[in-house]
Amino acid sequence: MQTRILNQESLENEITMKVDSQFEMLKGIIDNQKENAKMIISNLESVQDYRPPPQDFTNQTLNQLNEFQ
């Protein structure tokens, strides 16, 4: 009877350790995804701030270079 109780306790400990290990692994995955999401949001915000150059940018640059010469 005592052996059976000891086996059940060791099985319970083993299961608890595995569950704790998997829980920590999942927390790590969630933290990693959270950091990735923050980076993506930051990149999207910088894209929203982007203003393309005017359509005649090349002509303006060439004119300014000609004036500089």
- As given in the structure block, the two tokens for residue 61 are 């640059």
Could you give the CA distance from residue 8 to residue 14 in angstroms, rounded to a whole number?
A: 10
Q: Which domain holds residue 13?
A: 2-68
Q: Which of 30, 11, 7 is nearest to 19 (CA)?
A: 11
Q: Is the pLDDT assigned to residue 47 strictly greater than 80?
A: no
Task: Tell me the pLDDT tens digit for each residue of 4-31.
Answer: 777 788 889 999 999 999 999 999 999 9
Q: What is the pLDDT of residue 36?
A: 94
Our count of domains for the chain comes to 1
Measured at the CA of 53, the angle between CA 52 and CA 55, to 5 degrees, comes to 110
Closest CA to 66 of 52, 31, 37, 58: 58
Q: Residue 51: count other Cβ atoms within 10 Å of its Cβ.
A: 5
